[in-house]
């Protein structure tokens, strides 16, 4: 089944404790993105990637890192999480520039 998977689905952590949210897609898509969703703000893009080793900042990149060492994986790294990073995070992928994005199931992150 074609899908985007994220892990963990739920995470509660404390300020300053490094964490990684994994994202993997099995569709051989070139393009991948991370978004955060906050009430009243919709989804905002954090980082995106055009291919292996090629990444760029989205609209809200502060406090986040990403890597793209393999085509299928695009982990999101929070080196020192803070409470304002409490949010619902989505990973997405697409095969080409003109195509719709396929979204993962989301990761609910709470930073205390």
Partner 1 sequence: AQTVTQSQPEMSVQEAETVTLSCTYDTSESDYYLFWYKQPPSRQMILVIRQEAYKQQNATENRFSVNFQKAAKSFSLKISDSQLGDAAMYFCAYNGGGADGLTFGKGTHLIIQP
Binding span for partner 1 by CB under 8 A among 13-21, 61-69, 73-81, 92-100:
92-100
Q: Are 42 and 58 in contact (CB under 8 A)?
A: no
Sort strands 19-25 and 31-38 into parallel, antiparallel or unpaired. Answer: unpaired
User: Quick count: other Cβ atoms within 10 Å of Cβ 106?
Assistant: 16
- The reply on whether position 109 binds partner 1 by CB under 8 A is no
- The reply on whether position 8 binds partner 1 by CB under 8 A is no
Binding span for partner 1 by CB under 8 A among 21-29, 33-41, 65-73, 76-84:
33-41
- The reply on whether position 63 binds partner 1 by CB under 8 A is no
- The reply on whether position 6 binds partner 1 by CB under 8 A is no
Q: SS3 for 63?
A: coil
Binding span for partner 1 by CB under 8 A among 10-18, 55-63, 65-73, 74-82:
55-63
- The reply on whether position 95 binds partner 1 by CB under 8 A is no
- The reply on whether position 31 binds partner 1 by CB under 8 A is yes
Dihedral, 71, 73, 78, 79 alpha carbons, nearest 10:
-70
CA diameter of the chain = 39
């Amino acid at each position: 089944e074609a899908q985007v998977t994220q892990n963990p689905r739920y995470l509660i952590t404390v300020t300053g404790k490094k964490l990684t949210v994994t994202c993997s897609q099995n569709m051989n898509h070139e393009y991948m993105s991370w978004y955060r969703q906050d009430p009243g703000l919709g989804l905002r893009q954090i980082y995106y990637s055009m291919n292996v080793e090629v990444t760029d900042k989205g609209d809200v990149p502060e406090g986040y890192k990403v890597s793209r060492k393999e085509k299928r994986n695009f982990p999101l790294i929070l080196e020192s999480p803070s409470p304002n990073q409490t949010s619902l995070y989505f990973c997405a992928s697409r095969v080409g520039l003109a195509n719709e994005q396929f979204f993962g199931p989301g990761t609910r992150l709470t930073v205390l």
